Amino acid sequence: MFMKLLEVQSSVRLEQSVSRTLSQEFIQIWKNFHPNGRHKQRDVGMNPPAHPTELWTTANYIPPDSRTPEMETALIESEQLIEELLWADRLLLGVPMYNFGVPSTFKAYVDNIVRVNRTFTFDPASFIFEGLATDKKALVIAPSAGNFAPGTPMGSMNFCETYLRSILGFIGIEDITTIAVPNQFMPDETRHQEVEQARTKLKTIAATW
């Protein structure tokens, strides 16, 4: 069996992006350990998914065999994104902090992949939700200008990490490792040190992930 890795990038930067650079390096190492591994990239930073619309929402909540052709069309992109997510054993997420949360492009991605009877189920009788995107691990590379480590003055404003843990857990992805890359607006020496520390951690993870 070969391992399938889906990489999702959401930085709006290319060459200068810390999350993209570290992700590329990680994937190279990961491929050495998984010579038969498969890798797909979804770039929501450069090609953001469409936001849900009224038609999309109506289509989402009715059984597939009751949908009109227009409704089917409205869900095409979401279906592709979900198929790709369910395909993967491993999710590598490049998610920089934007205004204390995830980039809006990543949120648009989430709105497309979190869907009832596709990535979670809901039983109205018991009010129990269950994730369907199981048997996956997620690795999040999360750069930020500031430092949001727990216990620091701005530690409670890291909505990125709490949000990702909540939403991925909701669809069944519980095994989540976050590599924060803080202090990216600090002088070069400090910010390079942070990148180097993240690089070291990622090298270790790539060997066993």
For ligand FMN, give the closer residue by CB, 64 or 155. 155
Burial string for 39-58 (b: 16+ CB within 10 Å, else e) reads beebbbbeebbeebeeebee
Q: Is 143 in the site for ligand FMN (CB under 6 A)?
A: yes
Q: Is 98 in the site for ligand FMN (CB under 6 A)?
A: yes
Instruction: Please identify, among the stretches 14-22, 33-41, 74-82, 114-122, the one whose residues bind ligand FMN according to the rule CB under 6 A.
Output: 14-22
Give the residue ranges of DSSP H helices in the chain: 18-33, 54-60, 69-74, 76-87, 104-113, 159-170, 188-208
Q: Is 18 in the site for ligand FMN (CB under 6 A)?
A: yes
Site string for ligand FMN, 161-200 (x = CB under 6 A): -----------------------x----------------
User: Which residue from 28, 80, 99, 200 is in contact with ligand FMN, where contact means CB under 6 A?
Assistant: 99
Q: Is 100 in the site for ligand FMN (CB under 6 A)?
A: yes
For ligand FMN, give the closer residue by CB, 119 or 144. 144
Surface-to-core class of residue 6, CB atoms within 10 Å of its CB (0-12 exposed, 13-18 middle, 19+ buried):
buried
User: Which residue from 5, 6, 7, 19 is in contact with ligand FMN, where contact means CB under 6 A?
Assistant: 19
**CA 153 to chain CA mean position, Å:** 26
Tell me the pairing of strands 120-123 and 128-131: antiparallel
Minimum CB distance to ligand FMN, residue 20 (Å): 6
